[in-house]
Amino acid sequence: MIQANPHYEELERSYLFSEIARRVAKWQAENPTLPLLRLGIGDVTEPLAPPIAAALVAAAKEMGTPEGFHGYGPEQGYPWLREAIARNDFQARGLNIQADEVFVSDGAKSDTANILDILGRDLTIAVQDPVYPVYVDTNVMLGRAAAIRRLTASEANGFLPGPDSPGADSDVIYLCYPNNPTGVAADRELLSAWVEHALARGSLLLFDAAYAAFIRDDRPVSIYEIPGAERCAIELRSFSKTAGFTGLRCGYTVVPHTLEAQGAGGPVKLRDLWLRRQTTKFNGVAYPVQRAAEAVYSEAGQKAVRRQVAGYLANADVLRRSLEAAGYQVAGGQHAPYLWVRVQGSSWDAFDDFLERLNLVITPGSGFGAAGEGFIRISAFGSAETVARAARRLETGRVEG
Ligand code: PLP
């Protein structure tokens, strides 16, 4: 008899986006002429910037020539991309991260899941609530449903739970800043407290910085800006939201040489285990995609992606002003493409109300965890025109005539 992994039956039904789609489809069928606007999108809306698209095309063409053909590549990424990442994202900020500590991948989602391969079985896990659901589901799949503790992100702690939160006393702690879904970003003081806690307790921080490019002041962009993090933290990064790679797929994970864990016969370097894991189980990222990622760091690439991110942040500013003018309490959106908005009644009631009254699609906060009940997430991904129209509706409380 074939045995299935029983833990898949412990997963909560992935209800959020299918239920949104169902309610929107029903509403559209009943109201085919009304002008629906979507502020629920967690995907970029701008096309690839021209210098990045040009690098992709050039590399694809190279592959069709005898001199430029590339077969199997290094699973951990081509050295020129790993060097560009280490130099631009870390060394340029004074951080001592080397190319051989950078592992190129097809994105942060895969890495947040796959990294669990190199950790022991018997671990307690802390995640924030509300949370990016992948952290929870990937642990449930491994049989850790009962080992997951929730760090409540509420108005009371500014949506920034610290190491004094119940549940923080865990072996693995997921931190995501700037955060999806709340859109808040941690400051140096909070991240320092987490690093200190992890070092004192012997915990591992899994620091998801998929939205790092949205930080617009001098708060830490990388966990390695906090001294000691190189001994307790793995950082996950993505080109998805920062350079429009959601369709191309590329990200990277940093595992410092100095990060040790207890092995069967003494301390082991997690970096070496990750190298072994990736070279055994991962095929690497396509050569043209890595060339496109490299182009993100060119002068023209940087200018273009900064402009795109600034555009999404300007959208967030417009939405925040309208929401506040309409009397809503709004968190996030200053260093992230998401706004976290307090609503009256349940998140799903608010979803229906926004759809029917304003013809706007938003995301119910309760879909990200129990602490998200009573909130909605509004996304700033979208064109400036869409956002301006949506903002007018939010402000006036009605759909344009
Ligand atoms: N981490 C967070 C917090 C996210 O919101 C997302 C995507 O929405 C990801 C990771 C996934 O990133 P990638 O597209 O690189 O897999």
> In the prediction, which pLDDT does 26 show?
96
Ligand 1: distance of its center to the CA of 390 in Å?
25
% of residues, the chain, pLDDT over 70? 100
Question: What number is the average pLDDT over the span 244-268?
Answer: 97
pLDDT 10s digits, 306-365 = 999 999 999 999 999 999 999 999 999 999 999 999 999 999 999 999 999 999 999 999
Ligand 1: distance of its center to the CA of 131 in Å?
12
- Domain assignments of the chain as residue spans, ordered by start: 6-48+300-396, 51-298
Ligand 1: distance of its center to the CA of 237 in Å?
9
Q: For 51-298, CATH number?
A: 3.40.640.10
CATH topology of domain 6-48+300-396: Aspartate Aminotransferase, domain 1 (3.90.1150)
Question: What number is the average pLDDT over the span 167-195?
Answer: 98
Question: What number is the average pLDDT over the span 372-399?
Answer: 96
**Does residue 14 have a pLDDT over 90?**
no
> Model pTM?
0.97
**Does residue 153 have a pLDDT over 90?**
yes
- Given the CA of residue 179, which atom of ligand 1 is nearest to it? 3
> In the prediction, which pLDDT does 16 show?
87
> In the prediction, which pLDDT does 248 show?
97
User: Do 6-48+300-396 and 51-298 agree at the fold level?
Assistant: no
> In the prediction, which pLDDT does 368 show?
96
Ligand 1: distance of its center to the CA of 114 in Å?
14
pLDDT bracket for residue 173 (50, 70, 90): very high
Question: What number is the average pLDDT over the span 262-285?
Answer: 97
From residue 128, give the alpha-carbon distance in Å to each of 138, 293, 309, 356, 371. Answer: 15, 30, 25, 31, 9
> In the prediction, which pLDDT does 20 show?
94
**Does residue 12 have a pLDDT over 90?**
no
Ligand 1: distance of its center to the CA of 64 in Å?
32
> In the prediction, which pLDDT does 324 show?
97
Ligand 1: distance of its center to the CA of 251 in Å?
9
**Does residue 15 have a pLDDT over 80?**
no
Q: Ligand 1 pocket by C-beta < 6 Å: which residues?
A: 42, 107-109, 132, 176, 180, 208, 210, 238, 240, 246, 251
pLDDT bracket for residue 400 (50, 70, 90): confident
Pocket test for ligand 1, best of 109, 110, 136 (most atoms within 8 A of CB): 109
- Given the CA of residue 245, which atom of ligand 1 is nearest to it? 14
pLDDT 10s digits, 61-74 = 999 999 999 999 99
> In the prediction, which pLDDT does 42 show?
86
Ligand 1: distance of its center to the CA of 105 in Å?
12
- Given the CA of residue 241, which atom of ligand 1 is nearest to it? 14
Q: CA–CA separation, 279 vs 125, rounded Å?
A: 26
| Full 3-state SS string of the chain | CCCCCHHHHHCCCCCHHHHHHHHHHHHHHHCCCCCCEECCCCCCCCCCCHHHHHHHHHHHHHCCCCCCCCCCCCCCCCHHHHHHHHHHHHHHHCCCCCHHHEEEECCHHHHHHHHHHHCCCCCCEEEEECCCCHHHHHHHHCCCHHHEEEEECCHHHCCCCCCCCCCCCCCEEEEECCCCCCCCCCCHHHHHHHHHHHHHHCCEEEEECCCHHHCCCCCCCCHHHCCCHHHCEEEEEECHHHHCCCCCCCEEEECCCCCEEEECCEEEEHHHHHHHHHHHHCCCCCHHHHHHHHHHCCHHHHHHHHHHHHHHHHHHHHHHHHHHHCCCCEEECCCCCEEEEECCCCHHHHHHHHHHHHCEECEEHHHHCHHHCCEEEEECCCCHHHHHHHHHHHHHCCCCC
- Given the CA of residue 112, which atom of ligand 1 is nearest to it? 10
> In the prediction, which pLDDT does 40 show?
86
Ligand 1 atom 2: the closest Cα is on which residue?
210
> In the prediction, which pLDDT does 49 show?
97
Ligand 1: distance of its center to the CA of 210 in Å?
6
- Given the CA of residue 251, which atom of ligand 1 is nearest to it? 15
Ligand 1 atom 11: the closest Cα is on which residue?
109
pLDDT 10s digits, 84-114 = 999 999 999 999 999 999 999 999 999 999 9
Ligand 1 atom 12: the closest Cα is on which residue?
108
> In the prediction, which pLDDT does 281 show?
97
Question: What number is the average pLDDT over the span 5-31?
Answer: 92
> In the prediction, which pLDDT does 126 show?
98
Among 170, 181, 227, which Cα is nearest to 208's?
181
